[in-house]
Amino acid sequence: MAFTSWTQLHSDLLDRLADFAAGKAFIASSVSVNTGAGSRDISYRNISELKAAIDIARTMAAYETGAAVGRTHAVSARHR
């Protein structure tokens, strides 16, 4: 699997999970992500590692698309 974007990686990982859920054999894999600021290897050998990789890719895809919103401070529920 080649890295093109976090959004595409997230989609590819979800496809792998769907394939497994549909009864296809589980295939362990890894991808090297070069972000320009460094590289990171994302690999999975079992379903729990695949789900963790999906969570990472989802978070990074949100930043990539601008969907993630950062907070500067916590706001208590009483002050809303």
Convert the pLDDT of each residue in 7-47 to its tens digit.
999 999 999 999 999 999 998 999 988 877 788 889 999 99
**Rounded distance between C-alpha atoms, residue 31 and residue 54, angstroms:** 12
Q: What is the pTM of this model?
A: 0.75
Residue 8: helix, strand or coil by DSSP? helix
Give the pLDDT confidence score for residue 23 in this predicted structure.
Answer: 93
Residue of 4, 3, 10 whose CA lies nearest to 50: 10
Give the pLDDT confidence score for residue 73 in this predicted structure.
Answer: 62
**Domain extents in the chain:** 6-65
Give the pLDDT confidence score for residue 35 in this predicted structure.
Answer: 74
